[in-house]
Structure 1
Amino acid sequence: MTTLKYATEIVKEVDRTIGQITEEDSERLVDRILEARKVFVAGAGRSGFMAKSFVMRLMHMGLDAYVVGETVTPSLQEDDILIIASGSGETKSLVSMAEKAKSIDATVAVVTISPESTIGRLSDVAIKIPAKPKAGADSDYKTIQPMGSLFEQTLLLYFDATILRIMSKKGLESGVMYGRHANLE
């Protein structure tokens, strides 16, 4: 198969996956983000990169948003939301964050393959991205891609779609957001 044929198949896989995400849970996540005083986002590995891109767009909208673990990230408080991106929902460091957030009575949300996971059970909102787990487990979800690529690609598009929904609810246009774009590049 050629590179472009692989790309075409990847797009088909992502399209099938996005089509299975629950709209009601997505709306609950959007509402919780808009209700929160501050938004904290965490993820490990490639999922973490997708999470960082989400925080950037939240900041462009004027929301008080942070990547967990950065030196300028403030403390999480009761009126805040922690959004975790984790395919397995079992990454130890992310489980610890979810447990800490729950102990503070902050809202916890997860975007995951496994809403029945430890982080999923701790979460107030769980978005299921139906994709093949990274390693080992059998799955009904087939992909030509290695490891967690389908989850990570869908995660990026899902987060971008979430941004569009928040923009719609806030009546924001891209031009306003561009005014908050980095200018020391």
Structure 2
Amino acid sequence: MNILKLIEEVIPSLSRQERKVALKIIQNPQDVQTMNISTLAKMVNVSNATITRFVKKMNCHDFYDLKLKLASSDSKQTKEITKGSIADEVFSFYKDVLGDTAEKIDQAELNQVVKLISNCRRIYVFGIGSSGYTAQEMAQRLIRMGITAYPMTESHIMYITSGIIQKDDVILALSSSGNTNDLNEAAELAQKNHAKVIAITGVKTSPLFNLADYPILVKNSDFIDNTHFINSQFAMTYVLDIITTLLLENDTFKQRLSRTVEVVMDNKFRNNN
């Protein structure tokens, strides 16, 4: 069995410390291939003995053998997508969305947004409908970094929140069309109370884009020939992934996320040990 698939399969049965090793290998297999056992131990804050026990559980003779198997896993080619298939059609759709969104991204603007989020008192993530699910996901990410974040997916609650918001607070408004009246009115009210508004939308001429202090333009999936039920939030999620990754360049946020990941993993697998 592929060593990475084996690790994913057995991770529930590992000890708390061994799971830290397993997660690092799953998430960064190429990096681990360049490390010695002491470097990996220090990076995940475990003992060399813990890694040795883990290696044995993976049916490897030693750490070097584990690295060889990781290299072998990397060399296996991924499954080809058959041209003209549904999988190929969806892949092409996503490729177009990502490519067009990447062309619109201004790194300097994203850096400003990251700075604003890093220093805010609270951030409220607004989204209605499909964007509401994205808002909930983004808020959870921020919370796990120790940032005080609240997802707002109901228009009445958005408006109440905007009425009592403070100047050090931030609104992150998500709307593919940028033309959701209730969301826009709530964002505008927040501005009147001196909060800053970050907007991610697919329409440059939309009310949301024009009112935002920090507007971010993504590809609107409605502008691509899409007659099937394909994720309309993909471009927005791509930008949120970039923002999240930039936030994690902050050591404090990165350490907090690592701690929360450890807590979540312990909770998931505590009954197995």
Please indicate, yes or no, whether the TM-score normalized by the shorter chain is above 0.5: yes
Match for residue 239 of structure 2?
158
Amino acid aligned to 2:194: D
Q: Where do 4+ consecutive residues of structure 1 move more than 3 Å?
A: 146-151, 179-184
Shift of 1:146: 4.3
Q: For the structure 1 residues 146 and 66, does the alpha-carbon distance in structure 2 shift closer, same or farther, using more than 3 Å as the test?
A: farther
What residue ranges of structure 1 are gaps of 5+ in the alignment? Answer: 135-140
1:108 aligns with 2:197: yes
Q: Which amino acid aligns with 1:46?
A: S
Contact 1:14–1:150 (CA<8 Å) still a contact in 2? Answer: no
**1:6 counterpart = 2:95:** no
Superposed, which structure 2 residues align to 1:121-132 within 5 Å?
A: 121-132=210-221
SS at 2:249 equivalent: helix
Percent identity for Structure 1 against Structure 2: 22
Amino acid aligned to 1:81: V
**Cα shift at 1:108:** 0.6
* Alpha-carbon RMSD: 2.8
Cα gap change, 1:180/1:22 in structure 2, threshold over 3 Å: closer, same or farther? farther
The alpha-carbon distance between structure 1 residues 116 and 45, as it changes in their structure 2 partners (threshold 3 A), is same
Equivalent position of 1:62 in the other structure: 146
Q: Structure 2 residue aligned with 1:44, among 104, 125, 128?
A: 128
Contact 1:110 1:126 in 2 (8 A): yes
* TM-fit CA distance, 1:165: 0.7
TM-score when normalising by structure 1: 0.81
Q: Secondary structure at the match of 1:79?
A: coil
How far 1:107 sits from its partner (Å)?
0.5
Cα distance in 2 for residues equivalent to 1:159 and 1:60: 15
Higher normalized contact order (CA 8 Å, seq sep 6+, divided by chain length) = 1
Larger Rg: 2
CA distance in structure 2 between the aligned counterparts of 1:10 and 1:177, rounded to whole angstroms? 34
Greater percentage in helix: 2
CA distance in 2, matches of 1:155, 1:147: 19
* Offset of residue 159 of structure 1: 0.9
Query: Which amino acid in 1 is paired with 2:235?
Result: T
What is the CA-CA distance between 1:170 and the residue it aligns to? 3.8
Gaps of 5+ in 2: 1-83, 269-273
Residues 118 and 170 (structure 1), Cα distance of their counterparts in 2 relative to 1, 3 Å cut: farther
Amino acid at match of 2:146: G
